[in-house]
Structure 1
Amino acid sequence: MAGDTERIEQDIAQAREDLAKTLDVLAERANPQRLADDLKHKVIATLNTPAVKIGLAGVGVVVTVLVVRKIIR
């Protein structure tokens, strides 16, 4: 009987420890600063791909041509 009580107390203590670890992980995942940093890194990585760089350069050329044409007219 005493062994069962000790085992149950150990199980409860282990469950509390597991719950505390889970809450710590969830708090870290939900940290707004970390989420913003992750998003920032993903956007920068996407913008650094060759296809996006070429597309942005093309858009820049078109905008420049349109502005120059507008000024000349």
Structure 2
Amino acid sequence: MARNPDAIEREIERSRTALAGTIDQLAVKANPQRLADNAKTSVQAKLEEPKVKFPLIGAGALIAALLVRKLVR
């Protein structure tokens, strides 16, 4: 069964529009600045968790104490 050329053109135009929308969405998701901002926010949130925050503070205090001890000698 042969298809109407006008119907084929309309279908092609709908496909182009859908593809353009998909490409725009991918461009937004793959934006390097957006990815960097998301990574930064994720790391900051992780560092605010008590199970991560307090051991890091303890490790920092230990390193500081060892450096002071080494400098005093």
TM-score (norm 2): 0.85
Matched residues, percent identical? 46
Give the number of the structure whose residues are more often helix, by fraction: 1
Q: 1:72 Cα deviation (Å)?
A: 2.6
Q: Distance in 2 between matches of 1:8 and 1:37?
A: 43
Residue 40 of structure 2 is matched in structure 1 by 40
TM-score (norm 1): 0.85
Q: Distance in 2 between matches of 1:55 and 1:7?
A: 66
Q: What is the aligned-residue RMSD (CA, Å)?
A: 1.4
Give structure 1 stretches of 5+ with no counterpart. none
**Which stretches of structure 1, 4 residues or more, deviate above 3 A after TM superposition?**
none
Residue 53 of structure 2 is matched in structure 1 by 53
How many equivalent residue pairs?
71
